[in-house]
Structure 1
Amino acid sequence: MRKWHGNPWAILLTLSLGFFMTLLDLTIVNIAMPSMIDQLNASLDEILWVVNAYVLILAVLLITAGRLGDVRGQRNMFIFGVAVFTVASLLCGISQNPAELIGARCLQGLGAAMLMPQTMAIIIATFPPERRGAALGIWGAVAGVATIAGPTLGGFLVTTFDWRWIFFVNLPIGVIVLIAAFVLMPSVRQERRHRMDLGGVLIATVALFCLAFALTEGQRYHWNGWIWALGAASIVLLVIFLLQQRTQQDNEPLVPFRLFRDRNYTILNFVAAAVSVGMVGMFLPLTIYLQSVLGYSALKSGVVMAPMSVISMFIAPVAGRLSDRFGGKYILMFGLALYAIGMAWIVLLAEPTTSWPAFLPCLVVSGIGVGCVFAPMATEAMRGIEPRMAGAASGVYNTIRQIGSVVGSAAMGAVLQNQLASSLQHEAAVRAGGLPAQARGPFVEGFKHAASSGIEVGAGQTGASQSVPQGVSKEVAAQIGKVAKAVFDHGFVTAMKPTMALPIVVVVVSAVSCLVLRRHVRAGQPQPAEPVEAAA
């Protein structure tokens, strides 16, 4: 193995495997949500926190972990992060209730935060400028594949074994990454002294918690005054954070403002957040639709969505090489547009009786789009950043992207529950006319109660169980069950369509924003001085 020690491509493979684990756990949980709701006797709110706890901790600590990499060594932070993530994955898999699972997911988020910013920073330090674009292209391709491979792999694991295996699968990968990191990656410690902005860490943590809690729990608490107060507090705290960071610009702030003098870096941070909203947000309603409405198993749901990940896997490396050679501006715009078209196509086709082959062309289009997004986005965002700024730039870039995941997941959960509350009550009122007179009132009231107390969407739940009054005949009970299933199916589809429109619009806006990106200057051509370098 000695000949591989310090080999850039071996290091890239090690970093990519670790990075793959962290992003896989953003979406692999979605496919298992119905099973976790049933087996842990959890509410949709609790399972949403299983998703959001991981993303929240990850987003809050990324910048801090990037700074710690400068202080303690990026290799050391990467190894420690992989170890924490692997142990946390084991704890997730053996959790016996929602509280234990949420706590373990918080620990997972801590491990992911420690390792993720080191990957981009080590790549920039390892590869010379002429090969850095190709390396970041592969890194970006891994991001795209991991993000959309989660439902397919998760579906296989949930159906073949159990939902716990979506976490156990990280254990062998984590061990391999740890061994490879010790053997292949040289230890490089920077001698410059650094300080930690603890005040900034505290303010950012509280601001993000307020935002995620308000969005996730808003429907459950009927959007009362203190939920809105939490949302307002998150905005106020964000303003305070920016003001506080302004006073720290000469003392190694968490967010160096001069990074944003690079136009491409600034725009692509927004695009990265928008892509996270668009992709993480889409998987929640689509996964529930496939399992709870169409009745597919977790495995079949994953297989239905597999074409998107398979196609993007082959497209992404090509997009990365083309971006390194010609620039990624128009490749990125093309990818975002295709992804939005594919998702909009799915929304138009989705009905309670739609069969899976109808979605195949949509998923192919979306897969091509995804393959053209992540590699160009990472390459163009970091192209103009100096290596000595790579740690800070990587932390900020990944933080903003994960904030998009927090907002996307929480907002989609809130919008979906709000839409479900309205659509189920309407469908129940319309379809109750086909039931015997004595069953109509309890039937409608049952769905009204379900809507007000939080919709449950486990594999075996349709919100109808509380709608069957006691003492009715088997024939009437069967009729109520059939009508209740129709209410849920049509109500969910009605709610899903406007919910999925939100991330589609966000992706379209991000595609349009790419028009103002600077063009790529090829090697050998005169290149204007970058504002970041001038500021340095």
Structure 2
Amino acid sequence: MSRASSVRWALTGLSLSMLVSSLGTSVANVALPTLAGVFAAPFRDVQWVVLAYLLAVTTLVVGAGRLGDLIGRRRLLLAGIGVFTAASAVCGAAPALWVLVLARAAQGAGAAVMMALTMAFVGETVPRERTGGAMGLLGTMSAVGTAAGPSLGGLLISGFGWRAVFLAQVPLGVAAVLIARRHLPAGGGKSGAEGRRPRFDLAGTLLLAVTLGAYALAMTTGRMVLLVVAGCGAVVFVVVERRAASPLVRPATFRDPVLSASLATSALVSTVMMTTLVVGPFHLARGLGLDAARVGLAVAVGPLVAALTGVPAGRIVDRLGAWRVTVAGLAATASGAFALSVLPVSLGVVGYLAPLVVMTAGYALFQTANNTAVMADAGPEQRGVVSGVLNLSRNLGLVTGTSVMGAVFALASSASDVATAPAGAVATGMHVTFAVAAVLVVLALGIALGAGAWARRGARVQAVAGAPRG
């Protein structure tokens, strides 16, 4: 098999892994009303079918990336896909709600491995000059999975019942395992100076998992005591990592202004993009009076645009460079958010969808360029954990956006229940929320510009220091 063919098959396996894990995030949401009826359970219990998956991904993604660096990424990725696939089968056969929730947590554990290691593998499978295109492809698969999840779940439920929502993921997982096993490069774990493999930081991993879990639950349930636990956990985690011989995440990693800026902008932009999913449906239904079917079609426009923009965005990154595309993507995202904050409701659906297209296309450009910049500079022994941290920043942004931007919307609408608020109140809430979103993207743009200036200044200093002296 030629080198080009081998690369294509490897990317196919990685893309399928990204698609499956993204589907797992969104496909179960539409089944919650059905599950509430089947298991005769209240919504607060049924929602754990979704929360268990998200919590597992959020808490384990960094540890999964680090473990892949230590024991071998191919070996762990195959195990992660296997766990996800087996858990999907258990979900489909679950006789009780608690079994389904536990199986969804196991699915999330497998997905954490898949999300952390798919991007880490790009550096081992694709030439550096084609990194942007590969990242764009993975971004496209993520968007396709997110967009197709609700509609695919609805079709499966109506045609075959709720169990089909989970059983349909089994053949996809099997295909991903077979392709990855055959075409991904094998690699051993990292060895120490004396040929011994560094020990896995179990204490740091557990501390980070508890901290992230408390934060995610605080954002989801609104319990402030969990936010305090998360803050204390973060402090203890930093102290433990500074003393660890082989830390999960080296504190010095975050002293790199470029990497820290990339993680911060990723979290901010993900927070903003969640606004389109939190606020958008209420504006379309209450503000514009669309029925459920048309709301679903309008909401799907954003992920569809991201899916169509991903691969071209990667090619643009390879041609123009990651930093330029990052700035352009952030500028487009800010422009779209600002337009949504000022355009009158009288423009109707077009007045919402046109800025949304600009905003989402900008996000696709930003995400592809940002992922490329971060992963291209990561050393071979650190790609897994860096990919995990990058995925974590995005997930934390999504979790934060759901809570914070939803609270801004409710406050700006001056309504106790936005689901029954009048059209004028919803329009006001929408404009204020997207104004806040625009400010957050401008902040991210400022961070990116500052990091770029620092990087160029550092490059000039190195050039002067390395120049021959006359």
TM range (shorter): 0.7 to 0.9
Asked if 1:213 corresponds to 2:217, the answer is yes
Structure 1 counterpart of 2:264: 270
Note the 1:489-504 alignment, pairs <5 A: 498=432, 503-504=437-438
Shift of 1:180: 0.9
Note the 1:410-449 alignment, pairs <5 A: 410-412=403-405, 423-424=415-416
2: CA distance between counterparts of 1:106 and 1:40? 18
Structure 2 counterpart of 1:458: none
Structure 1 counterpart of 2:59: 60
Shift of 1:112: 0.8
Task: Find 1:512's aligned residue among 435, 446, 456.
Answer: 446
1: CA distance between counterparts of 2:52 and 2:344? 30
Structure 2 counterpart of 1:26: 25
Structure 1 counterpart of 2:124: 125
Pair 236,373 (structure 1): closer, same or farther in 2 beyond 3 Å: same
TM-score (norm 2): 0.81
Instruction: Report the number of matched residues.
Output: 455
**Larger Rg belongs to:** 1
Shift of 1:377: 1.2
Structure whose residues are more often helix by fraction = 2
CA contact (8 A) 2:269 2:363 kept: no
Q: What amino acid does structure 2 have at the position aligned with 1:204? A: L
Pair 39,289 (structure 1): closer, same or farther in 2 beyond 3 Å: farther
Give CA-to-partner distance per residue, 1:354-405, whole Å, 9 cap, x none: 9645533233223422331221111112222222321222222222222223
Shift of 1:209: 2.3
Structure 2 counterpart of 1:380: 373
2: CA distance between counterparts of 1:268 and 1:214? 25
Q: What amino acid does structure 1 have at the position aligned with 2:415? A: S
Pair 406,418 (structure 1): closer, same or farther in 2 beyond 3 Å: same
RMSD: 3.9
Pair 210,307 (structure 1): closer, same or farther in 2 beyond 3 Å: closer
Structure 1 counterpart of 2:401: 408
Asked if 1:234 corresponds to 2:234, the answer is no
User: 2:187 is paired with a residue of what secondary structure?
Assistant: coil
Structure 1 counterpart of 2:323: 329
- Tell which deviates more after alignment, 28-37 or 57-66: 28-37
User: 2:258 is paired with a residue of what secondary structure?
Assistant: helix
Task: Find 1:296's aligned residue among 288, 291, 294.
Answer: 291
Q: What amino acid does structure 1 have at the position aligned with 2:385? A: A
Q: What amino acid does structure 1 have at the position aligned with 2:219? A: L
Shift of 1:61: 1.1
Q: What amino acid does structure 1 have at the position aligned with 2:378? A: I
Structure 1 counterpart of 2:201: 197
- Tell which deviates more after alignment, 400-409 or 194-203: 400-409
CA contact (8 A) 1:327 1:520 kept: no
Shift of 1:144: 4.5
1: CA distance between counterparts of 2:39 and 2:423? 24
Give CA-to-partner distance per residue, 1:12-60, whole Å, 9 cap, x none: 2211210122234334455666666677666665565444332221121
Shift of 1:275: 2.6
Q: What amino acid does structure 1 have at the position aligned with 2:233? A: L
CA contact (8 A) 1:207 1:237 kept: yes
Pair 306,212 (structure 1): closer, same or farther in 2 beyond 3 Å: closer
Give CA-to-partner distance per residue, 1:198-254, whole Å, 9 cap, x none: 111221122122222223222xxxxxxxx3332222111101111111112xx2211
- Tell which deviates more after alignment, 176-185 or 165-174: 165-174
Structure 1 counterpart of 2:88: 89
CA contact (8 A) 1:18 1:177 kept: yes
Q: What amino acid does structure 1 have at the position aligned with 2:262? A: L
Pair 367,396 (structure 1): closer, same or farther in 2 beyond 3 Å: closer
- Tell which deviates more after alignment, 5-14 or 391-400: 5-14
Shift of 1:75: 1.1
Q: Percent identity?
A: 31
Q: What amino acid does structure 1 have at the position aligned with 2:59? A: V
CA contact (8 A) 2:272 2:440 kept: yes
2: CA distance between counterparts of 1:499 and 1:210? 26
Pair 387,131 (structure 1): closer, same or farther in 2 beyond 3 Å: farther
2: CA distance between counterparts of 1:130 and 1:311? 25
Q: What amino acid does structure 1 have at the position aligned with 2:317? A: S
1: CA distance between counterparts of 2:409 and 2:96? 24
Mark the runs of 5 or more structure 1 residues left unpaired by the alignment: 219-226, 425-450, 456-461, 463-485, 530-536
CA contact (8 A) 1:215 1:414 kept: no
Structure 1 counterpart of 2:179: 180
User: 1:313 is paired with a residue of what secondary structure?
Assistant: helix
